[in-house]
Amino acid sequence: MKKLAAVLVFTAIGVGIVQAQTYPSRPITMIVPVAAGGSTDIVGRAVADRMRVSLGQPVVVENVTGAGGTTAVTRLHRASPDGYTIMVGQWSSHVGTPLLYAPPFDYLTDFEPVVRLSSGAIWVMGRKDFPAKDAKELIAWLKANPGKATAGTVGAGTGSHLCMLYLTGMIGSSVQYVPYRGGALAMQDVAGGTIDLACLEAGQTLALTSSGLIKPYAVLAAQRWFKAPDVPTFDEVGVRGLEFPFWHAMWAPKGTPRSVIDKLSAAAMEALADPMVRQRLGDVGHEIPPRELQTPEALAAYHKAEIAKWTPIVKAAGIKAQ
Residues 128 and 223 in one domain: yes
Each residue's pLDDT, cut to its tens digit, for the chain (322 residues) gives 455 444 444 444 444 454 556 999 999 999 999 888 888 999 999 999 999 999 999 999 999 998 888 999 999 999 999 999 999 999 999 999 888 887 889 999 999 999 999 999 999 999 999 999 999 999 999 999 999 999 999 877 788 889 999 999 999 999 999 998 888 899 999 999 999 999 999 998 999 999 999 999 999 999 999 999 999 999 999 999 999 999 999 999 999 999 999 999 999 999 999 999 999 999 999 999 999 999 999 999 999 999 999 999 888 877 766 5
Residues 256 and 115 in one domain: yes
For residue 261, is it within any domain? Answer: yes
Question: What is the domain extent for residue 159?
Answer: 122-237
Residues 25 and 62 in one domain: yes
Quote the pTM value. 0.88
The HSE-up count of residue 310 (CA atoms within 13 Å, CB side) is: 27
Domain CATH for 232: 3.40.190.10
For residue 130, is it within any domain? Answer: yes
Counted domains in the chain: 2
Residues 86 and 11 in one domain: yes
